[in-house]
Amino acid sequence: MGAATRYTRAELWRDRWAVARLAGWSLAEITPGLISGYATARAIDDGFLAGDARTGLGWLGAYAVAAGVGAVGARGAYRRLGDVVEPFRDRLVARVVTDAVRGAAHPDRAATARLTRQVEVVRDTYAGLLTTVRGFVFSLVAAIAGLVVLAPVLAALVVVPLMLGLGSFALLLPALARRQLGAVRADEDLAATAEPMLRAHRDVVAAGAGDWAARTVAAAAEAQRRAERSVGVAGALRGICLAAGGWGPLLVLLVAAPWLVDRGIGAGALLGAMVYVRGGLLPALHLLMHGLAGGGLRYGITLRRILSVSPVVLPSLDPPDHGLLRMRDVSFRYGPAAAPVLDRFDLDVSAGDHLVIVGASGIGKSTLAALMSGLLTPQTGTVRCAGRVLLPQEAHVFTGTVLENLRYLAPAAPVLRAVVLLGAWPLVNRLGGLGATIDPATLSAGEKQLIALVRAYLAPEPLAILDEATCHLDPALEARVERAFSARPGALIVIAHRLSSAARGREVLLFDGARPVRGTHAGLRAASPSYRDLVGAWSDPALLLRDVDGLDAVARVRLRDDPGEVVADRAR
């Protein structure tokens, strides 16, 4: 638990003044604990037993006043606890957000869960641990100090069994922590197995696989039971430590009682000592032994999990000597046993290029886009790229004004021309103008893409990479957008979703294996049977199966040479 401990120590040190104030109020809080036994002893020995009820009540009154002080102290201590815990939590939230956003190249779907659940667990257990440790230390000090004032010999008698109990608990703690860790993991495994299976209820029923589903999840539940049982055994051992440390001192006091009375220790003092043991030590030990293992473990595990997220820092790509993009000898695969996505691949893109990447889905086109823009690093080979803007399929639109969204990559750019050019004016108008605030949840996928496209169009970077970034637009709008980008200074790379995109490009990169082939649309059609297949399938998939309702396939392919013509889907 090294990282978590280091982090906690640094955080406590950072908030040392707040911690000091917390300690100050805790001192006030513990006043009744300090006084309880002594006041009881005096009240009995000097008051009630001596037949002087007034003195007895006087001492008890003093104890009551101390209880009042304690109440004020407890109140203050809880407020100060907030001063320690909330800044700690603020920084943790900032850290989770920073790590998640900085590591965004590998988007982390668990990040929001970390933010809402894990940070809360850490906040609660941090506060709980501060309370536990603080409560134990102060109660222990108060009880021992009180015993010393009553009679040092009483303190000596109490400390021996107390240490025995604490020492054996310290020995047990690692095993206890290990077993609780096992139980926590088993719990998580159960949830991780059950949740997708239950989400798949329809699919399980449809496949008649109910037995398998129930068995799979029940196996995780059984593992969880075994883990809980082993916690139970450790918990029983902890009970023995608690008995030794908490009940032991009481028995020792009773056994030594005759000897103590002989040495002139009164009934009241004996009683006072018992008050310290049963009212102070026993609850404090109970708190420590139950709180430390459970809370400390949850704290340690959860904090470590948050800390272990280290954002992948992306290496920045150097620009090539000339041109905008240069890939040399690039090989990439997702794992040692996985088939390569790219195998010693070369590519050059210069200003004025308009390259369309086509290929079956799942073959690695998006991987190529990620390699070009530095989101992935190839195992071998080099990628050099000038300024580029990558537009993925899932557009990033955030809560903010339309203008803020559009100027995201170009803070001072005039936006109107681009809005009109890309056909986004009706959308902007509907949203309430450039100053209106966008709620991303209310936009359709296509609307989001359009906003992201205008934004990318405005960006100063010369190379635009559209990774199926127009897939939710209708074909007419897609054509308009691609033509606008094609006329933009610099170069354009389009990962195509429809054939019409390929037909608009100056060149086509056919992705049909780990070594894509580059050529013109016409050239590839002549040279590559697999491209012909693709074109045939794309222009009308039904052709593969049988003749359809006539018309479109041929007509559409013919349209490609006329850049002024909108390539419309005939079915519209």
Partner 1 sequence: MSNRILLGCVRAAGGHAALLAVAALLGAAAGLVIPWAIGRTVDAVLLGGPGPWIVVTAALVLVAAGADVLAEFAAVTGTARATAHLRRALLTRIFTLPHPIGRPAGDLVARIGGQAADAGSAVGAIVGGLVSVLPPLGSLVALALIDPWLAASLVTGLVLLTVLLRGFVVRASVSAQGYQRVQGMIAGLLAEAMAGARTIAAAGTAETEIRRVLRPLPELGAHGRGTWAALAVAAGRTAALAPLTQIAVVAVAGVLLTHGRLSPGELVAALQYAALGAGLGAILGTLHRLVRARSGAGRAAEIIGARPRAHGTRVLPPGGRGTLRLDDVTVRAEDGHVLLDRLTLTVPGGATVAVVGRSGAGKSTLAAVAGRLRDPDQGTVRLDGVPLAALDPEALARAVGYGFERPALAGATIGDAIAMGRDHAFVPGAARIATIDAYITRLPRGYATPLADAPMSGGEAQRIGLARALHGDRLLVLDDASSSVDSVTEARIASALLHETHGRTRLVVTHRRATAAGADLVAWLDGGRLRALAPHGRLWADAAYRAVFAPDGGA
Among the listed residues 375, 413, 517, 566, the single contact to partner 1 using CB under 8 A? 375
**How many residues sit in the footprint of partner 1 (CB under 8 A)?**
180
Q: Interface with partner 1 by CB under 8 A: which range of 8-16, 169-177, 345-353, 389-397?
A: 389-397
Nearer to partner 1, 1 or 309 (CB): 309
Nearer to partner 1, 507 or 552 (CB): 552
Interface with partner 1, residue 267, by CB under 8 A: yes
Interface with partner 1, residue 204, by CB under 8 A: yes
C-alpha to C-alpha distance for 485 and 456, rounded to whole angstroms? 9
Binders in 429-448 for partner 1, by CB under 8 A: 440, 444, 446-447
Nearer to partner 1, 2 or 336 (CB): 336
The DSSP 8-state label assigned to residue 571 in this structure reads: T
> Within 10 A of 536 (CB to CB), how many other CB atoms are there?
16
Taking the complex as a whole, the smallest distance from the CB of residue 218 to partner 1 amounts, in Å, to 5
Reduced to 3 states, what is the DSSP secondary structure of residue 568? coil
Nearer to partner 1, 2 or 258 (CB): 258
Taking the complex as a whole, the smallest distance from the CB of residue 2 to partner 1 amounts, in Å, to 27
C-alpha to C-alpha distance for 270 and 256, rounded to whole angstroms? 10
What Cα–Cα distance (Å) separates residue 354 from each residue in 165, 326, 489, 503, 558?
77, 15, 11, 11, 20
Among the listed residues 43, 158, 166, 288, the single contact to partner 1 using CB under 8 A? 43
* Tokens found for residue 63: 């104890």
Interface with partner 1, residue 403, by CB under 8 A: no
Binders in 407-426 for partner 1, by CB under 8 A: 408-409
Nearer to partner 1, 353 or 540 (CB): 540
Binders in 271-290 for partner 1, by CB under 8 A: 271, 274-275, 278-279
What Cα–Cα distance (Å) separates residue 141 from each residue in 136, 305, 342?
8, 35, 68
Among the listed residues 14, 16, 178, 201, the single contact to partner 1 using CB under 8 A? 201
Taking the complex as a whole, the smallest distance from the CB of residue 413 to partner 1 amounts, in Å, to 14
Taking the complex as a whole, the smallest distance from the CB of residue 65 to partner 1 amounts, in Å, to 10
Interface with partner 1, residue 474, by CB under 8 A: yes
Interface with partner 1, residue 202, by CB under 8 A: yes
Interface with partner 1, residue 374, by CB under 8 A: yes
Binders in 115-134 for partner 1, by CB under 8 A: 115-116, 120, 123
> Within 10 A of 270 (CB to CB), how many other CB atoms are there?
22
Nearer to partner 1, 2 or 337 (CB): 337
Interface with partner 1, residue 400, by CB under 8 A: yes
Q: Comparing C-alpha atoms, which of 157, 166, 110, 341 is closest to residue 254?
A: 157
Reduced to 3 states, what is the DSSP secondary structure of residue 300? helix
Interface with partner 1, residue 205, by CB under 8 A: yes
What angle, 0 to 180 degrees and rounded to 10, lies between the N-to-C axes of helices 16-29 and 119-150?
A: 50
Nearer to partner 1, 52 or 561 (CB): 52
Q: Comparing C-alpha atoms, which of 408, 407, 442, 446 is closest to residue 424?
A: 446
Q: Which residues of 245-259 are buried (b: 16+ CB within 10 A; e: fewer)?
A: bbbbbbebbeebeee
* Tokens found for residue 190: 């159960």
Q: Who's near 83: CB < 8 A, 6+ residues apart?
A: 15, 18, 21, 22
Sheet holding 325-332, edge to edge: 342-349, 325-332, 380-385
Taking the complex as a whole, the smallest distance from the CB of residue 97 to partner 1 amounts, in Å, to 5
Taking the complex as a whole, the smallest distance from the CB of residue 556 to partner 1 amounts, in Å, to 12
Taking the complex as a whole, the smallest distance from the CB of residue 335 to partner 1 amounts, in Å, to 3
What is the secondary structure of 131-199 as a DSSP string? HHHHHHHHHHHHHHHHHHHH-HHHHHHHHHHHHHHHHHHHHHHHHHHHHHHHHHHHHHHHHHHHHHHHH
Taking the complex as a whole, the smallest distance from the CB of residue 111 to partner 1 amounts, in Å, to 6
Taking the complex as a whole, the smallest distance from the CB of residue 321 to partner 1 amounts, in Å, to 23
Among the listed residues 402, 477, 491, 567, the single contact to partner 1 using CB under 8 A? 477
Taking the complex as a whole, the smallest distance from the CB of residue 301 to partner 1 amounts, in Å, to 18
Burial class (CB in 10 A: 0-12, 13-18, 19+), 478: buried
* Tokens found for residue 449: 């893409």
Interface with partner 1, residue 32, by CB under 8 A: yes
Binders in 222-251 for partner 1, by CB under 8 A: 222, 224-225, 228-229, 231-233, 235-236, 239-240, 242-243, 247, 250-251
**How large is the C-alpha radius of gyration of the chain?**
36
Taking the complex as a whole, the smallest distance from the CB of residue 152 to partner 1 amounts, in Å, to 20
Q: Interface with partner 1 by CB under 8 A: which range of 136-144, 148-156, 254-262, 301-309?
A: 254-262
Cβ atoms of 294 and 121 closer than 8 Å: no
Interface with partner 1, residue 472, by CB under 8 A: yes
Alpha-carbon dihedral angle through residues 73, 76, 79, 84, given to the nearest 10 degrees: -80
Binders in 150-169 for partner 1, by CB under 8 A: none
How do beta strands 325-332 and 380-385 pair? antiparallel
Interface with partner 1, residue 36, by CB under 8 A: yes
The DSSP 8-state label assigned to residue 469 in this structure reads: T
Binders in 345-364 for partner 1, by CB under 8 A: 360-364
Q: Interface with partner 1 by CB under 8 A: which range of 39-47, 154-162, 294-302, 555-563?
A: 39-47
Interface with partner 1, residue 70, by CB under 8 A: yes
Binders in 502-541 for partner 1, by CB under 8 A: 534, 537-538, 540-541
Binders in 78-117 for partner 1, by CB under 8 A: 78-79, 81-83, 85-87, 89-90, 93-94, 97-98, 100-102, 104-109, 111-112, 115-116
What is the phi-psi region of residue 220: left when phi exceeds 0, alpha when psi lies from -120 to 50, beta otherwise? Answer: alpha
Q: Which residue has the tokens 């809080």?
A: 29
Q: Interface with partner 1 by CB under 8 A: which range of 6-14, 29-37, 293-301, 483-491?
A: 29-37
